[in-house]
Amino acid sequence: LWILLPLLVLATLFFYPLALIVKQAFTDDQGLFSAAALQQVFESRRFVSALLNTLQIALLATLGCLVLGTLLSLLLVFTPFPGSRLIARVIDTFIAMPTFLITLAFTFIYGSAGLLNGTLMTAFGFTLPPVDFLYSIWGVILAEITVFTPLVMRPLMAALSQ
């Protein structure tokens, strides 16, 4: 009986708007059932391009996380060195850190006026930032690898240390 109120709130705030979206997606201008709008979306070049970009980012970020996480886990578990326990604790900190802070850190480091570009522009007299990947697909992939690699490492390190 106690679950009725949370279900009512969930139905009101989530399922009702979702049902309206689905209804609108499957009706035409006259209010009749039609999948023409969905067909138009799936035939759109923008939709296909966005879908391919999303798949590319997801696959490359996943591959990067798996490779980097596995290598770092093997290094930290099987090659004890001074500071390896500290590095393992820092990895836990990354897991607890909100992702917007990593985005902010990337902007401060790799942005057009960030630490890296500012240093290179001052040192070599560049007029434009020489490192310009932050707002590309590769910047998104690098940010996702930074955020999600600790989530690969933590269980892998636990399994390897047994």
At residue 47 the predicted structure's pLDDT band, cuts being 50, 70 and 90, is very high
The DSSP-derived string for 70-133 is: HHHHHHHHHS--TTHHHHHHHHHHHHHS-HHHHHHHHHHHHSTTSHHHHHHHHHH--SS-S---
Model confidence pLDDT, tens digit, residues 78-120: 988 898 889 888 888 888 889 899 899 999 999 998 999 999 9
Query: What pTM did the predictor assign?
Result: 0.79
The pLDDT value given to residue 88 = 85
Mean pLDDT, rounded, for 127-143: 93
Contact call for residues 108 and 115 (beta carbons, < 8 A): yes
Q: What is the pLDDT of residue 57?
A: 98
- Taking all residues of the chain, what is their mean pLDDT, rounded to a whole number? 92
The topology under which CATH files domain 45-160 is MetI-like fold (1.10.3720)
Domain ranges of the chain: 1-43, 45-160
